[in-house]
Amino acid sequence: MARFGHRGMLFWTGLFAVTWALSTWSFQLYKALDARWIIRFPAQYELPLDDRISDFLDWLVESANFYLFTFKDLTRAIAATIEWPYQVLRDLLIEGFQRGLGDQAVQIAPPLSWIAVIVTAMAIGHYARDWRLAALVGACFAYLAVFGQWQSAMITLASVLIAVPIGAAGGLALGIAAYRAPWFERLLRPVLDLMQTVPVFAYLVPILILFGFGPVAALVATVIYAMPPMVRVTTVALRGVPPEVIEAGRMAGCTRSQMMWKVLVPSAVPTLMVGVNQVIMLTLNMVIIASMIGAGGLGFDVLASLRKLDIGGGIEAGLAIVVMAIALDRASQAFARRGVRHPPTGNVLQRHPWAGTVVLVIGGTLILGRIVPAVQTYPEALTITTGPFWSDAMEWINVNFFDAFEAAKTVVLTWVLLPVKQFFGGIPWGWGIVATGLMAWRVGGWRLGLLAALLTAFIAASGLWAKAMVTVYLCGVSVVIATLVGIPLGILAAERPRAGRVILGLMDTLQTLPSFVYLIPVVMLFRVGDFSAMIAVILYALAPAVRYAAHGIGDVPEPLLEAGRMAGCTRAQLLWRIKLPLATPQLLLGLNQTIMLALSMLVITALVGTRDLGQEVYIALTKANAGQGIVAGLGVAFIAIIADRIVNALAEGQRKRLGLA
Amino acid sequence: MTKPVILDCRNVWKLYGPHADGFLGANPAPDPEALREAGLIGAVRDVSVQIHQGEIFVIMGLSGSGKSTLVRCLSRLVEPTAGQIRFEGKDLLAASESELIEIRRKKMGMVFQQFALLPHLTVLENTAFPLEVQGVGRAAREARAREVIELVGLGGREGYYPRELSGGQQQRVGIARSLAVEPELWFLDEPFSALDPLIRREMQDEFLRLQNILHKTIVFITHDFDEAIRLADRIAVMKDGAIEQVATPEELVLRPATEYVAEFTRHVGRAKVIRAASLAAPLTGDSFAGDLPHDAVVESFAAQVEAADLPHRVIRDGEAIGQVDRRAVIDVLVGRR
């Protein structure tokens, strides 16, 4: 605690006291001085950025011309190249291949039968790891058939199968370019930062304007959302190739392209597969959001049910997404860990047992399906609908526990949420800029202070101050609670291996759930409002706090613990005196991740009625106002960037002090 | 040395830090003080060495002495800041990227400390890799790879992946790979440092056996002085980026040029280094217990001389150049000389 010595303590209490005083009396101050600008940014100085962006987009679509082709031609070309393979996949999985148009259409071949798809999925699972994975993947896909989600699930699968290769290949290409050319990386890094922090809703509007409503627009949005981690993973993976391996390649006389494709990329494959896994998970995460601009499938089912308040339908479709996410996640993780194996020997069938089986099953079901329809399409009579069950269960909970939930909600609202909301809401924008700048300066030097102050000033000057403060308050409360719950859980996981397996396994599963899914039960139980938003955000953002805490505590070097034990530390002393102080950099990294996840979830909770920047973005989406959406989205991104830089500076300082840097 | 010079390296510098190139232009021969003031690190300072055909030239130094950087300058994996390097009479530093690729494909091989095998390739594919990038057909390159794998004693393990091999076996693959193209100049960068002592010794024997068959020109890097004197024809001792002394192991022990080299050689088992010729005293009588070759190390004849009452003759080119008696051998063994 040396950092917060006497003077440090004075600085932080002083800052808080001034902020609190200004927050409490800002309204009186404005009345007394008759200066309305104190609490509201003067309208005539507001930046007209949103209008400019909207005008620019209009210009792009209406009249932009690159001599040989117009901008519209470009977007159409992109749309066509995505549309074509997507349609082929849809034919393959859902509609079947047809000749002719409209009424004259004749089906040449039916889509793949449900049995064929399940067998293919199992084959991939077995190839990636073993029979257990094959069984898991097969069970997941069988679930989709039995519970009547097959059609929607195949639509979703088709868009995943298009978005993932584009995202992975594009990310790999950009990552390689960044690895080769340092200037390109310097250019790319801030763009990636923004792409990962600007909420998805913000760029849905421009995509909608450029590509029109439909699956292509949804795919474009999905790829933009899912690609950045692949770029980062690629550069990290290539940098992680041992220098001696690169030198060995050079001494063997590799040309530049031989070096890339025969040495660097193959050596980096295990790490690259982690990136592909990320792309898959983010793609699934986007499934529901993308259905707002025209992706069909499970996402659309969830969204439609939420809008109709059809509890059962929403949970059913949501569960189907979860099941699919689990199957794809486990399979792609298994690929990442697979490594090279010795190829089997023998004849063609012995060498490719799974490919052979898959071809046989596809052919077999194709022929058999003509005679027995149940082979082609899972019979409707045998599907199980769980919708009513979920609706009844929710109703039962609400009837029996309504009072308890209501009481808990009221207590938290009155004693936590409202006071904090008042505190943040009262801060005058001018002081907000100064205070943010001072905080950042204190932890990270004057450059960081200046950056933080400028970014805050942008938010104020865009006329978004009040909504931004709602975002900060909701995010702040959720992060504090998530940390208070998450760190003890993480410590427990590190200290007791058996509990740890359960806790970390649970966190793994929580992280595979698409963010949207969290909203469903929360809305059912607590209806709309800040409290529901907070619960959803906490659930979504809990995982990194737990994981980093478990990691940080578990990674404390054994000799230090032995030294502690020999000095006669009790278990508690060992934890408080040795493990926790040494784990602080990791804990701070966890905090950083928690904040980032909280902010991204917060935007989605706009759907359950928060009045923050997320709502601003969402309104812009419904009005198709690109400028408004982007500016509000930048606001969220800037809050994320300020928080990220400050927490990172704290972690860095802590690492230096512990001599770990 | 009468053998021709293969690699001729003159006044090579490698500086790290801001504006390293311009600095040497302004100060052609800076001392360590000047470098420190300019914020530069002199990884290699004014190194000149000539490496002759067929010799094992060992570069010896502690970690941070610049030996790894020097060997990378010699292979141009690292671009020297200044100096001249001629390989087979041609200016290596003037070679274009494509010429350099050609030289490395045909004439150089290198073995690395951490083996640097490609994890996704089998032993056979790793060994054949330098041939593959040259565009040699599969049958030809695999036949050649099998030959070298056999040579390094890994026959039967062609289908293994690196992770399935022990450290010593992995380094055998590294050696096989570097030999696949039949290089004229063979760099070994601390090839045995990552192995445990027993395996290290075994690999040194293996290396000497290979060199007896192949007669390559070798630049061998090590931080282990015992390894250096075991393997080297000549040793260059490096400290802080500069060469302290280049000499045969025996000369280093008998006539260290600097205090630093003397410190290093003080605790070396001298019987392993000193040869009969250095001990030879003028002939005094006519009767001898036997003859010794002039280049035998003391260790190899100590017991024999000590057991005999008469001195032994030292023979060079069929002529007796002197004698060695019990006393002289004991002097070496107890460290009196």
ipTM of the complex: 0.86
How distant is the Cα of A262 from the closest Cα of chain B, in angstroms? Answer: 9
pLDDT tens per residue across span B78-101: 999 889 999 988 899 999 988 989
Q: How many CB pairs under 8 A join A and B?
A: 71
Neighbours of B58 (CB within 10 A): 26
Pick the CATH number of B271-334 from 3.60.21.10, 2.40.50.140, 3.90.550.10, 3.10.580.10: 3.10.580.10
The reply to whether A489 touches chain B by the CB within 8 Å rule is: no
What is the share, in percent, of chain A residues with pLDDT greater than 70? 97
Taking the mean position of all CA atoms in its chain, how far away is CA A444?
28
Does the beta-carbon distance from A251 to B108 stay under 8 Å? Answer: yes
Q: What's the mean pLDDT in A378-401? A: 80
**Domain boundaries, given as residue ranges, for chain A:** 112-146+342-385, 151-341, 464-657
Q: Look at residue A526 and tell me whether its pLDDT is greater than 90.
A: no
Q: What is the pLDDT of residue A5?
A: 62
Interface test with A, best of B127, B133, B134, B141 (most A CBs within 10 A): B133
Q: What is the pLDDT of residue A152?
A: 87
Q: What is the pLDDT of residue B48?
A: 92
Does the beta-carbon distance from A253 to B114 stay under 8 Å? Answer: no
Q: Chain A contacts of B77, Cβ < 8 Å?
A: 247, 250-251
Q: What is the pLDDT of residue B85?
A: 93
Task: Using DSSP, state whether B247 is helix, strand or coil.
Answer: strand
Ordered alpha helix ranges (H), A147-264: 150-180, 182-197, 200-211, 215-239, 243-251, 256-258
Closest partner CB to B77 (pick from A250, A263, A342): A250
How many CA atoms are closer than 13 Å to the CA of A14, on its beta-carbon side? 9
**Interfacial A residues in 309-348 facing B (CB < 8 Å):** 339-340, 342
What is the dotted CATH code of the domain comprising A151-341?
A: 1.10.3720.10
Q: How far apart are CA B285 and CA B296, in angstroms?
A: 22
Q: What is the pLDDT of residue B165?
A: 92
Q: What is the pLDDT of residue B20?
A: 79
Does the beta-carbon distance from B109 to A262 stay under 8 Å? Answer: no
Q: What is the pLDDT of residue A1?
A: 41
Q: What is the pLDDT of residue A261?
A: 92
Q: Which CATH class is domain B5-107+183-268?
A: alpha beta
- Residue B281: pLDDT band by 50, 70, 90 thresholds? confident
How distant is the Cα of B37 from the closest Cα of chain A, in angstroms? Answer: 26
- Residue B337: pLDDT band by 50, 70, 90 thresholds? low
pLDDT tens per residue across span B289-326: 888 888 888 888 888 888 888 888 888 888 888 888 88
Pick the CATH number of A464-657 from 3.50.50.60, 3.30.360.10, 1.20.58.2240, 1.10.3720.10: 1.10.3720.10
Does the beta-carbon distance from B116 to A248 stay under 8 Å? Answer: yes
Q: Look at residue A2 and tell me whether its pLDDT is greater than 70.
A: no
Please check whether the two domains, A151-341 and A464-657, share a CATH topology.
yes
pLDDT tens per residue across span A125-165: 888 888 888 899 899 988 888 888 888 888 889 889 999 99
pTM for this prediction: 0.81
Q: Look at residue A51 and tell me whether its pLDDT is greater than 90.
A: no
Q: Chain A contacts of B106, Cβ < 8 Å?
A: 253
Q: How far apart are CA B124 and CA B130, in angstroms?
A: 11
- Residue A523: pLDDT band by 50, 70, 90 thresholds? confident
Q: What is the pLDDT of residue A466?
A: 86
Which of A352-361, A464-473, B9-18, B131-140 shows the lowest mean pLDDT across its residues? A352-361
Q: Chain B contacts of A252, Cβ < 8 Å?
A: 104-105, 129-130, 133, 177
Taking the mean position of all CA atoms in its chain, how far away is CA A149?
24
Q: What is the pLDDT of residue A658?
A: 77
How distant is the Cα of B34 from the closest Cα of chain A, in angstroms? Answer: 29
Does the beta-carbon distance from B105 to A253 stay under 8 Å? Answer: yes
**Domain boundaries, given as residue ranges, for chain B:** 5-107+183-268, 271-334
Q: What's the mean pLDDT in A614-618? A: 83
pLDDT tens per residue across span A207-234: 888 888 888 888 998 998 889 889 989 9
- Residue A339: pLDDT band by 50, 70, 90 thresholds? low
How distant is the Cα of B218 from the closest Cα of chain A, in angstroms? Answer: 15
Mean pLDDT of chain A: 84
Does the beta-carbon distance from B77 to A242 stay under 8 Å? Answer: no
Cβ(B142)–Cβ(B156) below 8 Å: no
- Residue A172: pLDDT band by 50, 70, 90 thresholds? very high
How distant is the Cα of B180 from the closest Cα of chain A, in angstroms? Answer: 10
Q: Chain A contacts of B115, Cβ < 8 Å?
A: 244
How distant is the Cα of B101 from the closest Cα of chain A, in angstroms? Answer: 5
